């Protein structure tokens, strides 16, 4: 389809997007279930049937919800764009100038590019609306200032908004805290605005993460769901808004964008602002359908050249006690288990004996490492493992040579640095001198030791994140975020084999913006498997499990003090990107054997665990979980049956297994690699056959529809079941 057409119909993966290109600003006539091949007559019918009847005390012209809703269109909700020129030009009236539609060969997906003129403030607006092959819809806006009145254009926001139908009546998003990230919260969608704002300089441990609206009671496997994600690693705004009068056939909007501070974006003539991508997904198969679209998108954009290595991280093993002999024993024991990568965490650099000093001085501490890191790295390499290292480049300690030499590099008001978090402050990464220092200092260490992997941490919020210049303090979060992206990209360009994990006080910077520049994320600082089960479940609503670092910790959790069985810790880590964060020099021989058997099992099943389709059963008992990974061809699956706590109601019932082929038989086995599971009473009789070498053969229809009885587990327990098509 070429420019000048009156409509655009894009289709991919069971999704249709229909845009009306006639009018001042294009309208979304439909976003959701595939409507098939729609020609001019079909689109015309869709257009006409979406115009609402005029009711009393309403505009003479029917309201129409455009891609950039403004007051001119009788839209009284959040406008798509706000700003001003010296306090004037505050009522934008955008007009479509040109539209082009590109559909690839094969007709799957496509891109609509829109150019608009906004005469009131003299702006050029451009939108890119892409329906990707996965069915994910990407929207990006760009704003460019014209000559105007001579004043700069102060942009308040530009927000990507898409319509919701009246049947979307419930909203789901997330909150949380340190070590308890991504906790779901569900509420009705009522008249008014559900707005979440992020003002932490990063998404934060209480990030909205994914904003979903759906039909009544939508669940893991059921209901229609529309979802939005702001793919940006700085301040954000998210919104679901319903007006009592609606607009056209639509009752509400869903979307978001970057949250800009006052004066953060001031456009002189010819200057542009590019908004971050906002990603939208629709599913008629509940939340698992949404997750599957995002997983496929991420895997297609960032295909791995090899498997995710099994990691041992030293933090909860030794903390700041960097002793070569002790660390060497960790390496030797890790090699016995089958670990493939050792990560030396915080404490290796100059002045860093605790968390009060040293951040910014990215040179090896000679007092602790008199021969440098070479002896340790050599031992890691000799054991056949990769070497990783912890950095926190965006932070700085006042007690550091860097802060003493360059106090002007702090991202803080001229009036003072304010409060610290974990005894640290923020380095202005966008300052040319600071940026060059970080790039060279990190590169020197990476090159010197052949570092394969960086754990890139970010332990505090950005409060009063302003840049000091001659004209006064100016907002600096956007500038900092873009500088971070550039620094990550340049490091990866210098060191193409380098892998970088985004860690931010645990899971405080988990978004699809950072994953355009990093390779994986650390989902949480909490290795307690009871907490981790829920953290991982909701993190994987957006990200595939192979990108979620998850470690087996000590029996007594570092963060919660809870004691759990090794079996449950192994089960929990297996369904993400597994690793170990535990002083295994103190492990018994039985524990070492168990870890070795587990490592062999999870590494031999990586192609399934890190390439299959994630599924989650809808269960009435919220203290139980049944989740799994099913191969694309549905011939192989691994499931985890989990009990978090005791239940008030009945604990015995048939449980269906989602995602299986009803027309196949499956052999069900219980792998030995995870050890004994704590069971309440006796297991169902069929489990004895499943524990045998032959396994237990069950028709797929029985497993998928009728379900089977499962053991009643003790609290904080998990059981793995492996299913193979007969």
Q: Catalytic site residues?
A: 457, 525
User: 155: which strand partners?
Assistant: 83
> Is there a contact between 67 and 163 (Cβ–Cβ < 8 Å)?
no
Give the Cβ contact number of residue 534 at 10 Å: 18
> Is there a contact between 491 and 439 (Cβ–Cβ < 8 Å)?
yes
d(CA 186, CA 190): 12
Listed in sequence order, the residues at least 6 apart from 306 whose beta carbon sits closer than 8 Å to its beta carbon are none
Coil vs helix vs strand at 573: helix
> Is there a contact between 92 and 120 (Cβ–Cβ < 8 Å)?
yes
* Buried/exposed code over 361-374 (b: 16+ C-beta within 10 A; e: otherwise): bbebbeebbeeebe
d(CA 474, CA 462): 14
Give the Cβ contact number of residue 496 at 10 Å: 6
- The sign one gets for the Cα dihedral 426, 427, 428, 430 is negative
The distance between the two most distant Cα atoms of the chain, rounded to a whole number of Å, is 83
d(CA 319, CA 321): 6
Coil vs helix vs strand at 120: coil
Listed in sequence order, the residues at least 6 apart from 444 whose beta carbon sits closer than 8 Å to its beta carbon are none
Which phi and psi (to 5°) does residue 315 adopt?
-60, -60
d(CA 586, CA 563): 16
Helix (H) or strand (E) run with residue 464 in it? none
Report how far Cα 216 is from the mean position of its chain's Cα atoms: 25
The C-alpha R_g of the chain, in whole angstroms, comes to 27
d(CA 541, CA 150): 47
User: 652: which strand partners?
Assistant: none
d(CA 360, CA 401): 8
Coil vs helix vs strand at 306: coil
Estimate the share of the chain in helix, then strand, then coil, as percent rounded to the nearest 5.
25, 30, 45
Tokens at 80, concatenated: 């798509």
Q: Which residue has the tokens 């390496």?
A: 331
Give the Å distances, CA to CA, from 664 to 189, 583, 628, 660, 722: 41, 44, 18, 8, 15
What angle (nearest 5°) sits at the alpha carbon of residue 486, between those of residues 484 and 489? 110
Report how far Cα 311 is from the mean position of its chain's Cα atoms: 21
- The sign one gets for the Cα dihedral 463, 469, 474, 477 is negative
d(CA 520, CA 533): 18
> Is there a contact between 138 and 130 (Cβ–Cβ < 8 Å)?
yes
Strand 311-313 relative to strand 341-344: parallel, antiparallel, unpaired?
Answer: parallel
What angle separates helix 432-449 from helix 477-494, to the nearest 10 degrees? 30
Which phi and psi (to 5°) does residue 171 adopt?
-120, 140
């Amino acid at each position: 389809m070429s420019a000048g057409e009156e409509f655009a119909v894009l289709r991919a993966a069971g999704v249709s997007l229909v845009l009306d290109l006639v009018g001042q600003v294009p309208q979304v006539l439909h976003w959701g279930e595939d409507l098939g091949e729609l020609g001019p007559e079909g689109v015309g019918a869709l257009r006409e049937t979406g115009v609402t009847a005029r009711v009393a005390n309403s505009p003479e012209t029917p309201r129409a919800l455009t891609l950039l809703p403004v007051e001119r269109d009788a839209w009284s909700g959040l406008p798509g764009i706000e700003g001003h020129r010296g306090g004037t030009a505050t009522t934008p009236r955008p007009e479509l100038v040109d539209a082009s539609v590109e559909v690839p060969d094969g007709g799957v997906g496509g891109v609509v590019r829109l150019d608009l003129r906004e005469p009131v403030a003299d702006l050029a607006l451009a939108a890119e609306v892409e329906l990707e092959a996965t069915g994910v819809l990407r929207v990006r806006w760009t704003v460019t200032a014209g000559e105007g009145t001579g004043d700069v254009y102060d942009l308040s926001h530009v927000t990507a908004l898409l319509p919701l139908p009246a049947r979307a009546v419930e909203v789901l998003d997330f909150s949380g805290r340190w070590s308890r990230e991504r906790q779901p919260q569900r509420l009705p969608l009522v008249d008014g605005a559900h707005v979440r704002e992020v003002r932490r300089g990063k998404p934060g441990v209480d990030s909205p993460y994914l904003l979903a609206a759906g039909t009544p009671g939508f669940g893991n496997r059921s209901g229609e769901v529309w979802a939005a994600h702001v793919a940006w690693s700085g301040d954000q705004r998210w919104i679901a808004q319903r007006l009592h009068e609606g607009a056209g056939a639509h009752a509400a909007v869903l979307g978001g964008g970057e949250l800009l501070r006052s004066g953060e974006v001031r456009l002189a003539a010819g200057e542009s602002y590019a908004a971050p991508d906002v990603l939208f997904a629709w599913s008629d198969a509940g939340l698992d359908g949404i997750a599957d679209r995002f997983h496929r998108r991420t895997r297609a954009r960032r295909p791995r050249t090899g498997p995710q290595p099994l990691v041992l991280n030293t933090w909860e093993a030794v903390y700041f006690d960097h002793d070569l002999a002790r660390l060497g024993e960790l390496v030797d024991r890790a090699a016995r288990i089958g670990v493939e990568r050792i990560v030396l965490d915080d404490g290796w650099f100059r002045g860093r004996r605790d968390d009060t000093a040293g951040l910014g001085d990215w040179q090896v501490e000679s007092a602790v490492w008199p021969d440098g890191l070479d002896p340790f790295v050599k031992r890691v390499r000799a054991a056949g493992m990769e070497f990783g290292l912890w950095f926190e480049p965006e932070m700085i300690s006042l007690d550091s040579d860097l802060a003493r030499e360059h106090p002007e590099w702090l991202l803080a008001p001229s009036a003072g640095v304010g409060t610290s978090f974990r005894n640290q402050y923020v380095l202005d990464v966008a300052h040319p001198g600071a940026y060059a220092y970080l790039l060279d200092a990190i590169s020197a260490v990476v090159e010197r030791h052949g570092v394969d992997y960086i754990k890139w941490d970010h332990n505090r919020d950005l409060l009063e994140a302003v840049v000091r210049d001659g004209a006064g303090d100016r907002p600096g979060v956007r500038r900092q975020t873009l500088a971070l992206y550039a620094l990550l990209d340049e490091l990866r360009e210098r060191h193409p084999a380098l892998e970088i994990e985004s860690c931010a006080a645990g899971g405080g910077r988990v978004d699809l913006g950072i994953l355009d520049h990093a390779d994986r994320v650390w989902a949480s600082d909490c290795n307690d498997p009871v907490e981790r089960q829920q953290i991982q479940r909701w993190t994987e609503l957006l990200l595939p499990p192979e990108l979620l670092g998850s470690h087996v910790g000590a029996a007594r959790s570092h963060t919660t003090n809870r004691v759990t069985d090794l079996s449950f810790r192994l089960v929990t880590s297996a369904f993400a990107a597994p690793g170990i964060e535990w002083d295994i020099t103190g492990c018994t021989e039985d524990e070492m054997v168990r870890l070795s058997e587990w490592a062999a099992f999870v590494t031999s099943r990586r192609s399934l665990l890190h390439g299959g389709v994630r599924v989650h059963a809808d269960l009435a008992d919220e203290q139980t979980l049944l989740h799994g990974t099913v191969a694309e061809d549905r011939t192989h699956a691994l499931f985890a049956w989990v009990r978090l706590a005791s239940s008030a109601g009945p604990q015995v019932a048939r449980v269906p297994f989602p995602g299986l082929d009803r027309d196949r038989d499956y052999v069900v086995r219980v792998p030995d690699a995870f050890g004994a599971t704590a069971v309440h009473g006796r297991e169902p009789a069929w489990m004895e056959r499943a524990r045998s070498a032959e396994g237990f053969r069950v028709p797929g229809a029985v497993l998928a529809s009728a379900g089977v009885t499962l053991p009643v587990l003790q609290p904080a327990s998990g059981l793995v079941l492996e299913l193979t098509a007969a």
